Chain A
Amino acid sequence: MTSPSSDTGAGILRLHPDGTASRGSRILGIVVLVSVVVFLYVALVASAPDKSLDAQGQLVRIMYLHVPSAIACYTAFFVTAVASGMYLWKRTMGWDALAASSAEIGVLFVALTLLTGSIWGHTTWGTWWEWDPRLTSTALMFVLYLGYLALRRAVLDPTSRAKQSAILGIIAFVNVPIVHYSVDWWRSLHQTATVASLDPQIDGLRLFALMFGMVVAMLLYVWLMMHRFRLAFAEAALEAKGLDLALAERRAEARADGGTVPPSVKTEGAS
């Protein structure tokens, strides 16, 4: 039984006895909070509605949320793939925790992307769902990473889990463009009348709202990652400690019963 806390990327993080917050994350948290308020003001109030040829009107505002969350989810899954590769190379639990945290936050952003896309579709197309290639491939990506998280929950042994999910994390990311292009191709064959898509004219304050939205989404991602990563690391430490604790308890019980203490209690990770 390798203990995840002993062999691992101490360089990547410090353990925080009083929760997952640190000075850095608190400062970043305040920055995110202020940015969100400013972003909402610019996106919802200050910027003008879209009045271009293919006018989106007020609806353009949902894009300031939709596009940044889409970009954040791709970033998150990219980080998962890179961290997975790094785990396979370095074999330290820190990289595994990074991959896991990023995938989880990525799923959150995909859900947000799907939700905003669907709401936009409802007002534009009149239905909650159209088989738009981008929406469809995003939905598949959502399920793909739910599968990744499901695998993480299914494997109990930390080392096995790290290795298996690292491989899956890379395969899943390789799979994203295949799914994207096949769905794209599939729809382009069937679409007779082009469905209106979210491509409004972007300039001035609208451009600023979009760009600023991306910055805010990235900051939010980083802030969430700091907390989720520290939580994942604490979980790994607890997992290792919990096993030691349980072993000590069983040994104490054996001693109290007056029986002989087994030289080592064999533990088996249910992989």
Chain B
Amino acid sequence: MADLAAESMLRDAAMVVGKDLRLEWRSRVTLSQILPFALLVLILFAFALDPDRRILEEATPGLFWLAVLFSMLLAIQRAYAVETTDGVIDALRLSDLDPAGIFLGKAAGIGLHLLVLEVVLFIGVTVLYGATPHGGLLVVVTMLLATAGLAAAGSLYGVLAAGLRVRDTLLPILMLPVVAPVLIAGTEAFSAAYANSSGDGWKWCGLLAAFSVLYLAIGIFAFEPLLEES
């Protein structure tokens, strides 16, 4: 019985993420708007922090994750903008999809977008800031765990703000303090990888993993009532 419920939850999640990816394939909003924005942020950081004084290279881990957080806000707003127009959210409520499945699907969709953003940003900081990482495995694991946490929290807060007239201004104030631990842990883990001392970085991955599990769990339970009210 529990297996069946979990199976239908995952099937619903796959349907939602498939729909979101198809939407992105047709509209290319992430590709043509959010991705250029992320690169723009990297260039703006260079204007703010003198590129000749090696500040950029030293600050690369933090700047990378800051750029991810800013782009994440846009990705979440986009993920729920497609749900709130034309009464889609009512259709979603009536669709008999498992709310936990919808949550996981939205989170997976946001997560996949974020991963693409992160890969491009990573190439960006490597080329533009001249920062070369050493611990490749640590970098990859950090990215995956942080993305899971950001996507879970984002999917949760996205539905909370969706449907409100002030959602664009409310989402950052609700989300950024919550994901501050991800910024800290992601930055520290990357710093360790760049400094070629991966050992220090792994415990930050533990924090990222705990954060992701916690927000996935909260989302699975809290998404249904939030969806009803959005």
Contact = CB atoms under 8 A, between A and B. Distances in A.
B59 to A, nearest CB: 14
B55 interface: no
Contact of A185 (B207, B222, B229): B207
A146 B169 CA distance: 13
Contacts of A52: none
10 contacts: A143-B173, A150-B174, A151-B170, A154-B165, A163-B229, A164-B226, A171-B156, A178-B214, A182-B207, A271-B164
Interface string A246-271: 00000000000000000000000011
B133 interface: no
A178 B211 contact: yes
A160 B230 CA distance: 8
A213 B163 CA distance: 44
A154 B185 CA distance: 31
B225 interface: yes
B180 interface: yes
Interface in A53-73: none
Contact of B222 (A160, A167, A178): A167
A174 B173 contact: no
A186 to B, nearest CB: 5
Interface of B: 156, 160, 163-166, 170, 173-174, 176-178, 180-181, 184-185, 188, 207, 210-211, 214, 218, 222, 225-226, 228-230
Given A167-B225, A171-B218, A174-B218, A186 B211 contact: no
Contacts of B173: 143, 146-147, 150
A219 interface: no
Give the top 10 A-B pairs by smallest Cβ distance, nearest first: A182-B181, A160-B229, A147-B174, A144-B177, A147-B173, A143-B177, A186-B184, A154-B166, A154-B164, A182-B184
Interface in A207-247: none
Given A88-B225, A178-B211, 20 more contacts: A143-B173, A143-B176, A144-B177, A147-B170, A151-B160, A151-B174, A154-B166, A163-B228, A167-B160, A167-B226, A171-B156, A171-B178, A174-B214, A178-B214, A179-B181, A182-B181, A183-B181, A186-B184, A189-B188, A271-B163
A179 B166 contact: no
A150 B180 CA distance: 19
Contacts of A143: 173, 176-177
A119 interface: no
Contacts of B170: 147, 150-151, 154
A147 B153 CA distance: 15
A202 interface: no
A271 B229 contact: yes
A175 interface: yes
Contacts of A159: 229
Nearest to A269: B229
Nearest to A153: B166
A178 B166 CA distance: 27
A186 B185 CA distance: 8
B207 A168 contact: no
A31 interface: no
Contacts of A271: 163-164, 229-230
Contacts of B188: 186, 189
A140 interface: yes
Contacts of A150: 170, 173-174
B69 to A, nearest CB: 14
A99 B183 CA distance: 29
B205 to A, nearest CB: 13
B225 A163 contact: yes
A43 B218 CA distance: 44
B185 to A, nearest CB: 6
Interface string A145-171: 011001100110001100110011001
A140 B211 contact: no
A270 B165 CA distance: 8
A144 to B, nearest CB: 4
Interface centre among B160, B180, B184, B188 (most CB of A within 10 A): B180
A47 B160 CA distance: 50
A183 B187 CA distance: 12
A270 B181 CA distance: 33
